[in-house]
């Protein structure tokens, strides 16, 4: 049953990804004084936590180099408050979804999807999940297209927190987690290394540690033990993220999948979705 949580994450994630990748989001962050894409990204995603120091963002986001985070935080909070970024991200997401979805914004199908997603999100675990909990504590919007977005934000951040816990249990530090992820072929090593700002020397050091553990061979390909650890991390993440879909039930989950699929497919084919995203997220078929 846990494969349901992965399927729903892959299917619904583009609806949340507009928060960061669409041009409207970048413009609204620039208007608040954020410098560059990454300062805006860290501010928009971390804002539910409040004006936390860089160390908290490093801990919760996990795979970004501390130096990259420190370049953006706390400077982001000096430009504008977390409350300002929260207002800005909801406003920009609404603009983006109106632009991309057009009249579908007011459809009965989207409204039904929003309520189904809300039911699932209200069941998302928050214990030990700081980003999921911080987003769950925010007020719910009133418009269906934003209810659907807020629900997916809670679901994906709760899932992300579970993924961090699995990486820690698997003994993978932030850079090692990226190296083994790239070795699995989901993304290119250069893409994920540079986007998370690890140096070549740091990447090579992490690669050596994984070789020493028998997880990579001399050609930096996953060994059977490496494949097994990757599968274990993903399985644990899926299992820890299944509760919302158990609560929604098979019928409700399938109905939500049916309703949201055309919406996320439209988004994934737009300028609001990075096809080469570092998560290796596939476009909805």
Full-model pTM: 0.95
Taking only the tens place, the pLDDT of each residue in 116-154 is: 999 999 999 999 999 999 999 999 999 999 999 999 999
Residue 107's pLDDT is: 97
Taking only the tens place, the pLDDT of each residue in 68-98 is: 999 999 999 999 999 999 999 999 999 999 9
The mean per-residue pLDDT over the stretch 248-258 comes to 98
CA distance linking residue 49 with residue 143, whole number of Å: 23
Taking only the tens place, the pLDDT of each residue in 99-118 is: 999 999 999 999 999 999 99
Q: Are the C-beta atoms of 49 and 74 separated by less than 8 Å?
A: no
- Please report which confidence band the pLDDT of residue 278 belongs to, taking 50, 70 and 90 as the band edges: low
Taking only the tens place, the pLDDT of each residue in 147-198 is: 999 999 999 999 999 999 999 999 999 999 999 999 998 889 999 999 999 9
By percentage, how much of the chain surpasses pLDDT 70? 94
Length of the chain in terms of residues written: 285
DSSP state of 104: G
Q: Compute CA distances 17 → 92, 109, 180, 268, whole Å.
A: 12, 21, 24, 9
Residue with tokens 């996320």: 264
Taking only the tens place, the pLDDT of each residue in 3-60 is: 899 999 999 999 999 999 889 999 999 999 999 999 999 999 999 999 999 999 999 9
The mean per-residue pLDDT over the stretch 247-251 comes to 98
Residue 186's pLDDT is: 81
Mapping DSSP to helix (H, G, I), strand (E, B) and coil, where does residue 196 land?
Answer: coil
DSSP letters along 20-71, please? HHSHHHHHHHHHHT--HHHHHHHHHHHGGG-S--HHHHHHHH-SS-HHHHHH
Please, what sign has the CA dihedral across residues 191, 194, 197, 200? Answer: positive
Is pLDDT of 281 > 70? no
Assign residue 206 a region: left if phi > 0, alpha if psi is -120 to 50, beta otherwise? Answer: alpha
- Please report which confidence band the pLDDT of residue 279 belongs to, taking 50, 70 and 90 as the band edges: low
Mapping DSSP to helix (H, G, I), strand (E, B) and coil, where does residue 216 land?
Answer: strand
CA distance linking residue 245 with residue 265, whole number of Å: 21
CA distance linking residue 48 with residue 160, whole number of Å: 15
Residue 148's pLDDT is: 98
CA distance linking residue 6 with residue 217, whole number of Å: 28
Is pLDDT of 277 > 80? no
The mean per-residue pLDDT over the stretch 263-285 comes to 73
CA distance linking residue 53 with residue 73, whole number of Å: 7
Is pLDDT of 2 > 90? no
Q: Which residues of 48-83 are buried (b: 16+ CB within 10 A; e: fewer)?
A: bbeebebebbbebbbbbbeebbbbbbebbbebbbbe
For the chain, the average pLDDT equals: 95
Residue 275's pLDDT is: 62
DSSP letters along 211-251, please? HHTTSB-TTSPBPHHHHHHHHHHHHHHHHHT-HHHHHHHHH
């Amino acid at each position: 049953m846990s494969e349901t949580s992965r399927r729903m994450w892959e299917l619904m994630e583009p609806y949340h990804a507009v928060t960061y990748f669409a041009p409207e989001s970048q413009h609204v962050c620039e208007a608040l004084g954020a410098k560059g894409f990454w300062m805006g990204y860290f501010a928009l995603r971390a804002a539910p936590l409040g004006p936390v120091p860089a160390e908290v963002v490093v801990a919760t986001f996990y795979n970004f180099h501390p130096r990259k985070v420190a370049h953006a935080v706390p400077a982001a909070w000096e430009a504008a408050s977390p409350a300002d970024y929260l207002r800005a991200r909801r406003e920009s997401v609404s603009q983006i979804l109106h632009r991309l979805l057009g009249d579908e914004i007011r459809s009965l199908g989207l409204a039904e999807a929003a309520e189904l997603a809300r039911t699932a999100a209200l069941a998302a675990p928050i214990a030990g999940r700081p980003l999921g909990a911080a987003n769950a504590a925010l007020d719910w919007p009133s418009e269906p297209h934003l209810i659907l977005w807020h629900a997916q934000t809670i679901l994906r951040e709760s899932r992300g927190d579970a993924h961090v816990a699995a990486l820690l249990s698997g003994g993978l530090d932030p850079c090692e987690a990226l190296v083994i992820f790239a070795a699995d072929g989901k993304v290119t090593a250069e893409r994920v290394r540079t986007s998370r700002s690890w140096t070549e020397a740091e990447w090579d050091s992490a690669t050596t540690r994984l070789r020493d553990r028998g997880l990579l061979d001399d050609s930096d390909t996953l060994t059977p033990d490496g494949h097994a650890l990757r599968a274990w991390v993903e399985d644990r993440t899926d299992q820890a993220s299944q509760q919302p879909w158990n609560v929604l039930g098979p019928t409700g989950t399938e109905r939500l999948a049916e309703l949201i699929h055309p919406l996320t497919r439209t988004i994934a084919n737009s300028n609001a979705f990075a096809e080469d995203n570092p998560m290796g997220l596939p476009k909805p078929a």
